[in-house]
Amino acid sequence: MARRKKIYEGKAKILFEGPEPGTLVQYFKDDATAFNAEKRATIEGKGVLNNRMSEHFMTGLNTIGVPTHFIKRLNMREQLIKSVEIIPLEVIVRNVAAGSISKRLGIEEGTPLPRPIVEFSYKDDALGDPLVTEEYIIAFGWASQQDLDDIVALALRVNDFMSGIMYGVGIRLVDFKIEVGRVYDGDYQRLIVADEISPDSCRLWDLKTGEKLDKDVFRRDLGNLADAYTEVANRLGLMPKNVGNGTGPTLVS
Ligand code: TMP
């Protein structure tokens, strides 16, 4: 059988041509990077866990009427998605100060923010994804004012949904990043959540102990990343009950 055509390879995922026009297959790698790929590792099982968790969150979002690119999971590492035109922005929502906002403004990590803060970075690895303002986004034509209003509304709905899901399993959603894509419906365009939602793109802290259960475990050398992600998947009910044969993560279908 001919190998599928690779459309794009990123740091943690690969996109292949999909089976029908307007679809792609998104493959989750085990690679982890931080600080714009200055730090790299392969974390066995990470791709499988993120594929399953992203499926879980995106399916929930689709169900409550927040449109996403997710169609269905195909296997342990791959999901079928809608092909979108990615808006070149990282859309970040923060509930609690951590990471770059703490550094930039000198706010102690863990300080609750007065309201959810939405911010944008321009997706450009060579520039290190710099923070940009709405003025930049509109002036350079990356998105229109109407798009931005829709993007903020989408991001805040994702924040409420994800905060609730996480609260239900004893986790605080500190912040997260989404990407947004355009799809065309005849003459209309719609903006939908794209890329992935997983502990690679969120900060997740245990509500009681403050233990970090996200990619900061890797960024800051705090322990075993796959164990942290497995803990999140477990609390969400996505892991089978009787594992322990040492073959790595297996999933509830
Ligand atoms: P930051 O505090 O480093 O700006 O990160 C904010 C959120 O965005 C955090 O949940 C991690 C996520 N994030 C990504 O998903 N990709 C990135 O490249 C960066 C820098 C952050």
What does the angle CA 39 – CA 116 – CA 166 come to, to the nearest 5 degrees? 70
pLDDT by residue (tens digit) across 175-187?
999 999 999 988 9
Round to whole Å and give the CA distance between 245 and 26.
28
Q: Hey, which of 175, 178, 218 would you mutate to test ligand 1's pocket, going by the most ligand atoms within 8 Å of its Cβ? A: 175
Per the structure, how many domains does the chain have? 1
- State in Å: Cα 76 to ligand 1 middle: 25
48 assigned to some structural domain: no
Mean pLDDT over residues 103-129, rounded?
98
**Residue identifier of the C-alpha nearest atom 18 of ligand 1:** 36
Axis-axis angle for helices 46-63, 145-168 (nearest 10): 110
pLDDT score recorded for residue 251:
77
9 in a domain, yes or no? no
- Distance in angstroms (rounded) separating the CA atoms of residues 150 and 24: 24
Q: Is residue 246 part of a domain?
A: no
Query: What is the CA(60)–ligand 1 centre distance, in A?
Result: 22
d(CA 97, CA 91): 16
Gap from CA of 201 to ligand 1 centroid (Å): 6
Q: Which atom of ligand 1 is least distant from the CA of 176?
A: 10
- From the list 157, 123, 146, 166, the residue with the least C-alpha distance to 36 is 123
Taking CB atoms and a 6 Å cutoff, what residues make up the pocket around ligand 1?
Answer: 92, 98-101, 129, 175-177, 201-203
Ligand 1: which of 31, 127, 201 to mutate, judged by most atoms within 8 Å of the beta carbon?
201
Q: 98 alpha carbon to ligand 1 midpoint, in Å?
A: 10
Q: Which domain holds residue 104?
A: 86-206
Q: How far is the CA of 3 from the centre of ligand 1 (A)?
A: 33
Amino acid at position 171, single letter: I
CATH for 176: 3.30.470.20
Of all protein residues, whose CA lies closest to atom 4 belonging to ligand 1?
Answer: 100
Q: Which ligand 1 atom sits closest to the C-alpha of 202?
A: 10
Q: Is residue 161 part of a domain?
A: yes
Residue 121 included in any domain: yes
CA 93 / ligand 1 centre spacing (Å): 10
> Tens digits of per-residue pLDDT, 148-196?
999 999 999 999 999 999 999 999 999 999 999 999 988 999 999 999 9
Does some domain include residue 50? no
Q: What digits encode the pLDDT tens for the residues 26-41? A: 999 999 999 999 999 9
Q: Does 35 reside within a domain? A: no
Q: Looking at the DSSP assignment, which residues form a beta bridge with residue 137? A: none
Cα(233) to centroid of ligand 1, in Å? 20
Alpha-carbon distances, residue 120 vs 93, 117, 129, 206 (angstroms) = 9, 10, 9, 26
Split at pLDDT 50, 70, 90, the class of 75 is very high
Structural domain includes residue 81 = no
Q: What is the DSSP string of the chain?
A: -PPPPEEEE-SSEEEEE-SSTTEEEEEE-SEEEETTTTEEEE-TTHHHHHHHHHHHHHHHHHHTT--BSEEEE-SSSEEEEE--EE-SEEEEEEEE--HHHHHHHTPPTTPEEEEEEEEEEE--GGGT--EE-HHHHHHTTSS-HHHHHHHHHHHHHHHHHHHHHHHHTTEEEEEEEEEEEEEEETTEEEEEEES--STTSEEEEETTT--B-STHHHHTT-S-HHHHHHHHHHHTT-S-SS--SSS------
